[in-house]
Structure 1
Amino acid sequence: MSTTTEPSSEDTTPLASIEVYFGELEDPRREGSTDYPLHEIVVLTVCAVICGADGFTSIANFGKAKKDWLGQFLNLENGIPSHDTIGRFYRHLDPEGFEKCFLRWMQSACRQVEEEVVAIDGKELCGSYDRHSNKAALHMVSAWASENRLSLGQVRTEEKSNEITAIPRLLEALDVSRCVVTIDAMGCQTDIAETIIEEGADYVLALKDNQKGLRASVEAIFDRLVESDHEAHSPHKHVTGGHDRVETRRCWTVDVDEKGLVDQTGWVKLKSICLVEYEKFEDGERSVERRYFISSLEPNPEKLLEATRRHWHIENRMHWVLDVAFREDDSRIRMGNAAQNMSAVRRLALGLLEQEESLSVGTKNKRLRAGWDHDYLEKILRQI
């Protein structure tokens, strides 16, 4: 392994940061079988996935088609590795070590944003299920920085486990200080709230029936509050619309210390409870849904409504894009550690594509443009 240093101003190639941040990665191959240097395989993979490659065969074909361009930055003494060589490499590569490199790279790209909303949610890699070997599909828990539009990292849930045990491991690996961490109802646990506070962040946690007593108490409070016409209880409102659809979000908050209405036992620094009412008019039909939250933030309805809205960015801007633009659920990569490692590459590629704003097109078309236009690909790679 080499000693990693931060990129200097003298690093002029668009791939310099890849070589630097992945320089500590331990090569899983036996000595004497490394005809293709580790950093060359990683660079090739990242570039290929940005440009539309979704599997090892397409990565190898990308390399052959772009060999002259890649040769400007890489030695390529033995040419482009075959798809079998690339596949074996990722099957044996330690995913935790790869993820650490990924984390360092993503954190270097993040701008410091006060009270950045970091959304945490899980996603199953459906195509990683292998019926013949009775291998369950991978389930990954990821963190998404909503303002920076980057995946900060991910961890795998252990077999016969769930997100409750994975979330603290992810939080401890990240730097979420001065951020607002949002999690759906699965993460509404006293231990998780405590971990978030210990990491120097605030929390906004969705409240459902896995906390029945607290949910019932909070619901009763807001039932009375919403029925009141008192001006002090008026909600903060946000309206969006288009294409015969109008959505109105209303947010009410209560200071739990002032009212003394909620049992705070076990909930570290719990300061507010929150009701968000979603009213939707679509095709002439009206629907209303109420969601409840607990938070360590002050009872500011505007700020809490914005935090709950931004939580859904992890679904709309990461999970959905990975499935549609990267076809993640269709991937049949499943041997060894390959599925988990390639999941990290996709999230890295997505983050770079999200950061590039000169084209007002979707992720799929950005990938196509990068594959066609070397200058645009270099622009994407120079962002870190």
Structure 2
Amino acid sequence: MKMELGSDDVVSILDYFADLEDPRSSINRKHLLGDLIVICIMAVIAGADGPRSIGIWAASNVGWLKRYLAWPGGVPSHDTIGRLLATLKPNYFQQCFQKWIESLREDASAEEDRPEIIAIDGKTVRRSHDSKKGLGAMHLVSAWAVRGGISLGQLATEEKSNEITAIPEPLEQINVQKSIVTIDAAGCQKEVAASIMDGGGDYVLALKGNQGTLHAYVRDYIVQHMENDFADVTARKFEENLKGHGRTETLVYYQLSLPKDLPGKTKWKGLQTIGVAIRMSEKNGHHTSDVRYYISSLKPNVKQFAAAVRGHWGMENTLHWCLDMTFREDDSCVRNRLATDNLAWLKRFAITLIKQQPSKESIAMRRRMAGWNVDYLAQVVGLKRI
């Protein structure tokens, strides 16, 4: 089985999983680990959402799969798939995708001179709770390359409150060099800022109550100067109007140089500017507004600041919305924690591969096309027949 990465550069997808430790018992082991993983990847892209549907998809495409896989054990049952997903260690599983992901990032960066925007944010898998074991819904912290449309990694936590301690770990696993990392208020931490700067990137961090004094100062400082139209300080402004899904939005951004008396400013590595983003929306006559304040290592460049903020909002609209509406992640009733984590990663990786396809169709339509047409699915995954 082959994956085409360039005009002449063809490598086996199975090579990406060559170092993955097989967690299964060696007794009665019929199926190759690589075969099972590739089946999971393709089935999820084609519309499967759990072990049972992955098994049914494999049984429905036996003839086609035999063209690419060794297939020594025949069609794997959904129990086989379920046991595998429930025993694979998520961090090692994701690491095997890193070279694949890096190849996609290289292709995306070759076409784009601007810095990549890496958004880090959390999402709760709402029906993943297990009342019998006293477990609440699983919360996943994801890293998303906004412009490339690439999922870079994820980390599962038991509660949303644990997102604060979870954020540094995904940062250690991804390359942030020459990128702008955006994180919501949970990630507004001095250690996070230092880690991003040490990795050769820049940061745009949202402020809220967890940074009480800093948040209050930035808010009051900007509001005070906004009242006299920034007559006493230099402020850069950028405004844009967006339309889509029946909604119209006006976004206004202000970026200011660092105030001299900003509390604790020396403790934030690389800190250079502060900013505010004001979003005013209208849909069906209903008006809403949202105001968020930020600290950043970016130099004064309000359009770049605006792109970073908008990119983070885009993660919510592109990745999280797609996971909910197209991949029905919140409807998943898989209770095993490892299986939930691994399935969530497969869905994020599926979105990554689907988004690389040059098409005007929506993600939902491209996923349907992959389910209807195995030749299109092969194109999405990058298969090339031997």
For the 8 Å contact 2:252–2:277, the answer to whether it is kept is yes
User: Which residue number corresponds to residue 314 of structure 1?
Assistant: 315
Distance 1:10 1:78, change over 3 A: farther
> Matches of 1:74 and 1:206 in 2, distance apart?
47
- 1:82 counterpart letter in structure 2: S
Is the aligned partner of 1:236 residue 2:238?
yes
Is the aligned partner of 1:226 residue 2:226?
yes
User: Which residue number corresponds to residue 186 of structure 2?
Assistant: 186
> Matches of 2:124 and 2:235 in 1, distance apart?
40
Q: Secondary structure at the match of 2:118?
A: strand
Deviation at residue 268 of structure 1 after TM alignment: 0.8
1:32 to 24, 27, 34: 27
Is the aligned partner of 1:137 residue 2:132?
no
Is the aligned partner of 1:372 residue 2:372?
yes
User: Which residue number corresponds to residue 206 of structure 2?
Assistant: 206
Distance 1:85 1:243, change over 3 A: closer
> Matches of 1:235 and 1:10 in 2, distance apart?
46
> Matches of 1:243 and 1:66 in 2, distance apart?
36
For the 8 Å contact 2:137–2:158, the answer to whether it is kept is no
For the 8 Å contact 1:92–1:336, the answer to whether it is kept is no
- 1:136 counterpart letter in structure 2: G
1:12-60 residue CA offsets vs partner (Å, 9 max, x unmatched): 5xxx543011111110112233200000100111111110011111111
> Matches of 2:9 and 2:290 in 1, distance apart?
52
Q: Secondary structure at the match of 2:266?
A: coil
> Matches of 1:34 and 1:293 in 2, distance apart?
53
For the 8 Å contact 1:225–1:233, the answer to whether it is kept is no
> Matches of 1:240 and 1:8 in 2, distance apart?
35
Is the aligned partner of 1:60 residue 2:59?
no
Structure 2 spans left out of the alignment, 5+ residues: none
- 2:222 counterpart letter in structure 1: F
> Matches of 1:317 and 1:170 in 2, distance apart?
20
User: Which residue number corresponds to residue 21 of structure 1?
Assistant: 16
User: Which residue number corresponds to residue 115 of structure 2?
Assistant: 115
User: Which residue number corresponds to residue 323 of structure 1?
Assistant: 324
Deviation at residue 108 of structure 1 after TM alignment: 2.0
User: Which residue number corresponds to residue 3 of structure 1?
Assistant: none
- 1:325 counterpart letter in structure 2: T
Distance 1:255 1:38, change over 3 A: same
For the 8 Å contact 1:355–1:383, the answer to whether it is kept is no
1:138-194 residue CA offsets vs partner (Å, 9 max, x unmatched): 211100001100111111226696112111111011111110000001111111111
- Structure 1, 209-218 or 226-235: larger mean CA deviation: 226-235
> Matches of 1:11 and 1:216 in 2, distance apart?
53
Percent of residue pairs bearing the same amino acid type: 40
User: Which residue number corresponds to residue 164 of structure 1?
Assistant: 164
> Matches of 2:245 and 2:293 in 1, distance apart?
28
> Matches of 2:209 and 2:337 in 1, distance apart?
37
> Matches of 1:160 and 1:144 in 2, distance apart?
18
Is the aligned partner of 1:247 residue 2:249?
yes
> Matches of 2:148 and 2:285 in 1, distance apart?
37
Deviation at residue 102 of structure 1 after TM alignment: 2.2
- Structure 1, 242-251 or 274-283: larger mean CA deviation: 242-251
> Matches of 2:87 and 2:55 in 1, distance apart?
18
Give TM-score, length-normalised by structure 2. 0.90
Deviation at residue 212 of structure 1 after TM alignment: 1.4
User: Which residue number corresponds to residue 155 of structure 1?
Assistant: 155
Distance 1:160 1:206, change over 3 A: closer
For the 8 Å contact 2:190–2:268, the answer to whether it is kept is yes
For the 8 Å contact 1:273–1:299, the answer to whether it is kept is no
- 2:34 counterpart letter in structure 1: H
For the 8 Å contact 2:122–2:160, the answer to whether it is kept is no
Equivalent residue runs for 1:266-305 within 5 Å: 266-284=267-285, 286-305=287-306
1:220-257 residue CA offsets vs partner (Å, 9 max, x unmatched): 2211221224675462111123677432211111111x
Deviation at residue 383 of structure 1 after TM alignment: 8.2
User: Which residue number corresponds to residue 356 of structure 1?
Assistant: 357
For the 8 Å contact 1:102–1:344, the answer to whether it is kept is no
For the 8 Å contact 2:149–2:355, the answer to whether it is kept is yes
Distance 1:368 1:199, change over 3 A: same
User: Which residue number corresponds to residue 339 of structure 1?
Assistant: 340
> Matches of 1:222 and 1:139 in 2, distance apart?
34
Give TM-score, length-normalised by structure 1. 0.90
Task: State the number of aligned residues.
Answer: 373
- Structure 1, 155-164 or 327-336: larger mean CA deviation: 155-164
> Matches of 1:329 and 1:375 in 2, distance apart?
29
Distance 1:333 1:237, change over 3 A: same
Distance 1:303 1:383, change over 3 A: farther
